[in-house]
C-alpha cells in the first residue's frame, strides 16, 4: 500500500492550486467560507468556469468530455478546490448519472444527455427512497406499468434532494409487479415537467429547503427512457450507491470547516482569553482534527486499493459513516463558539446574507443553521444505522435478526 504522492502527482497538485487561486472569484470563496447561500445564478458561476477549462466533470474519461484524470488526480483536484472555497457542486450528474449512461446507456441516451450534463444544462435528482421503506430500497412500491411505447408511473419518492430545482429524475421503479425485493426493478429517466408530478417540500429543522417528497400520478414516460435492462436495475443501482458512499468522505469540506473553526476560536473570546486557548475546547479541536486525519488516511487507502484493482470491502461504508461524523463534529464546534448568540438564529441570514443584523448574530445564525443541517449527513446516501448493519453483515459475518 502506497499512501505517498508521486512527483508527477505533486506537480499536478501545484498546477491545480495555481489555477484555482487565479480563477476562483474571491466573492464566491468568501460566501462559501461564511456558509452563506448562493442564488441559482451565483451557483452556476464556478461550474461554468470549470467547463471553460475542460474540468466540469473531473471523474469522466476523455472520450466523454472529461479530463481523463486518475483517481488520485481527481481526489487532489476536489480537495484543493474545496479547501480554496469553491462551492459544492451536486455530484449526482457527474458521479452517478453520467457513469451509468456511459456504462449501460443507449447510444441515443449518451448523445443526448452527456453533453447536457457537461454543460450544466440539466439538473438531476434521484428517485430512490420511499415512505415506509426506510433505507431498504428493495421495498419500493412505485410502479411503472407498460402501456404501448410508454410506462405509466404511479407512486411517491421521499427525501428527494433538490427535486424542486431539477429537470430530470433518475428513478428506481418496479416494472414487474409479480416480483418482490430486488427483482423486477428498473431505472427510468423521468422529466420533471411531465404532467402528474407534484413536488412537496420537506423543510429542514434549520428552516431551509433541500429535501422533497415527489408524487407521481399516472405519469407517462417513454420506454426509450429506460436505462439498462428492464427488471434488472437493482445491481446497477447498488454499484452506483457504493460509489456515492465513497464520495461522502467530504474531506475538502471538513478541512475548510477546520480552517474556519480555528480562525473563529482565535477571534471569539470566553472571559479573558480566546477560546482556542481554553484547554478543554482546544482538546476538542485536536480530537476532531485527529479524526479528520484518520478519515483522510482511510480514503487514501481506498484510492490505492481501487487503483490497484483490489476489493474495497466495507471501506465505502466506513468512509460514509466517519465522513458524516467528522463534518458534524466540526460544525458542532463552530456552533459552540457562537454559544448563546446562535440560539435566536434567523435562517434568512444564511440565505440572503443580510447586513441588517449585527455581525456576531449573523455569524452565529449561519453557524447554528449549518450544524442543524449537518444532521442530514447521517441520512443522505444511506443512513448510518444501515451502514453499520451492512458492515456487520458483510464484513464481520454477523447474523442480524
User: Catalytic positions, please?
Assistant: 244
Looking from the CA of 213 toward its CB, the CA atoms found within 13 Å total 10
For the chain, what is the radius of gyration of the CA atoms? 22
Q: How far apart are the first and last CA of the chain?
A: 36
DSSP state of 376: G
**Cα 272 to Cα 25: distance, rounded to the nearest angstrom:** 37
Output the CA–CA distances (angstroms, integers) from residue 395 to 190, 212, 398, in the order listed: 36, 33, 8
**Cα 106 to Cα 180: distance, rounded to the nearest angstrom:** 27
Give 361's contacts (C-beta < 8 A, 6+ positions apart): 341, 344, 345, 349
Report the b/e string of 360-378 with b at 16+ CB within 10 A: ebbbbbbbbbbbbbbebbb
What DSSP string runs through 7-67?
HHHHHHHHHHHHHHHHHS-HHHHHHHHHTPPPPHHHHTHHHHHHHHHT-SSTTS-GGGTS-
- Nearest alpha carbon to residue 71 among 95, 100, 54, 96: 95
**Cα 349 to Cα 342: distance, rounded to the nearest angstrom:** 12
Amino acid at each position: 500500500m502506497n499512501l505517498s504522492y508521486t512527483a508527477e502527482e505533486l506537480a499536478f497538485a501545484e498546477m491545480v492550486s495555481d489555477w484555482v487561486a487565479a480563477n476562483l472569484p474571491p466573492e464566491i470563496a468568501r460566501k462559501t467560507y461564511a456558509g452563506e447561500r448562493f442564488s441559482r445564478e451565483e451557483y452556476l458561476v464556478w461550474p461554468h468556469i470549470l467547463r471553460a477549462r475542460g474540468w466540469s466533470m473531473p471523474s469522466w474519461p476523455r472520450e466523454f468530455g472529461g479530463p481523463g484524470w486518475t483517481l488520485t488526480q481527481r481526489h487532489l483536484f476536489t480537495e484543493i478546490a474545496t479547501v480554496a472555497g469553491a462551492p459544492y457542486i451536486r455530484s449526482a450528474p457527474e458521479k452517478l448519472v453520467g457513469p451509468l449512461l456511459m456504462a449501460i446507456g443507449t447510444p441515443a441516451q449518451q448523445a443526448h444527455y452527456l453533453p447536457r450534463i457537461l454543460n450544466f444544462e440539466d439538473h438531476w435528482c434521484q428517485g430512490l427512497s420511499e415512505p415506509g421503506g426506510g433505507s431498504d430500497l428493495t421495498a419500493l412500491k412505485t410502479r411503472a406499468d407498460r402501456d404501448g411505447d410508454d410506462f405509466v408511473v404511479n407512486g411517491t419518492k421521499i427525501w428527494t434532494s433538490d427535486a424542486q430545482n431539477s429537470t430530470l429524475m433518475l428513478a428506481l421503479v418496479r416494472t414487474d409487479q409479480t416480483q418482490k425485493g430486488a427483482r423486477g426493478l428498473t431505472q427510468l429517466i423521468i422529466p420533471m415537467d411531465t404532467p402528474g408530478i407534484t413536488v412537496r417540500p420537506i423543510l429542514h429543522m434549520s428552516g431551509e429547503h433541500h429535501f422533497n417528497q415527489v408524487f407521481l400520478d399516472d405519469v407517462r414516460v417513454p420506454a426509450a427512457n429506460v436505462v439498462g435492462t428492464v427488471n434488472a436495475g437493482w445491481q446497477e443501482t447498488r454499484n452506483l450507491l457504493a460509489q456515492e458512499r465513497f464520495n461522502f468522505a467530504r474531506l475538502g469540506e471538513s478541512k475548510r470547516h477546520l480552517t474556519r473553526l480555528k480562525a473563529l476560536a482565535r477571534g471569539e473570546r470566553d472571559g479573558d482569553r480566546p477560546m482556542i486557548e481554553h484547554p478543554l475546547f482546544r482538546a476538542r479541536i485536536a480530537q476532531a482534527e485527529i479524526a479528520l486525519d484518520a478519515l483522510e488516511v482511510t480514503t487514501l487507502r481506498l484510492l490505492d486499493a481501487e487503483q490497484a484493482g483490489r476489493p474495497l470491502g466495507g471501506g465505502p461504508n466506513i468512509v460514509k459513516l466517519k465522513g458524516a461524523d467528522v463534518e458534524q463534529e466540526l460544525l458542532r464546534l463552530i456552533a459552540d463558539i457562537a454559544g448563546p448568540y446562535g440560539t435566536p438564529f434567523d435562517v434568512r441570514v444564511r440565505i440572503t446574507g443580510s447586513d441588517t443584523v449585527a455581525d456576531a448574530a449573523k455569524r452565529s445564525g449561519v453557524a447554528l443553521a449549518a450544524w442543524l443541517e449537518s444532521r442530514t449527513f447521517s441520512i443522505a446516501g444511506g443512513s448510518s444505522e444501515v451502514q453499520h448493519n451492512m458492515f456487520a453483515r458483510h464484513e464481520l459475518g454477523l447474523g442480524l435478526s
